[in-house]
Amino acid sequence: MEFPLSPTADVTHPVRMQLEAYNAKDIDGFMRWWADDCLYFAFPDTLLAQGAEAIRERHVERFREPDLEGRLLHRLSVGNMVIDHETVRRTFPEGVGEVDVVCIYEIENGRIAKAWFKLGEKRLLER
């Protein structure tokens, strides 16, 4: 299924919607915004998942984390590229913490075709 973008369409829409679904831990809503043949990288070029099914598998377990939340700090877009700066709260083996992430998305036909993620150092939070 394609979601064609008109020349005036908001290229950030698929990114915004997948982040909302991520925070709701809604795997089906999340996957709706990823192309069937999408590529998912650790920046700059380490392929972590190829295809929607592999991305789904990566996130099913993550969505079970009780403290999972992506907080958008800044978003910009240039052409069909969307760049987010987020702070993501995770449940790490050693406890709850946060990590800063730069997320780069390439949008084609209204869906995420490629994505790159650059993670900062994780910070454990005091409880």
pLDDT at 127: 66
pLDDT at 126: 80
What whole-number percentage of the chain has pLDDT above 70? Answer: 92
Residue 79 pLDDT class (50, 70, 90 cuts):
very high
Greater confidence (126 vs 125) lies with 125
Token code pair at residue 11: 């290229």
E-state strands within the chain: 34-42, 46-50, 69-78, 81-92, 95-108, 111-119, 123-124
Query: Among 2-6, 7-11, 42-46, 105-109, which is the least confidently predicted range?
Result: 2-6
For residue 57, is pLDDT > 70? yes
Half-sphere exposure at residue 3, Cβ-oriented, CA atoms within 13 angstroms: 16
pLDDT tens, 14-53? 999 999 999 999 999 999 999 999 999 999 999 999 999 9
- How much is the pTM? 0.91
Span 67-77, average pLDDT: 97
Token code pair at residue 99: 């990590």
What is the set of domains in the chain, with CATH numbers? 13-121 (3.10.450.50)
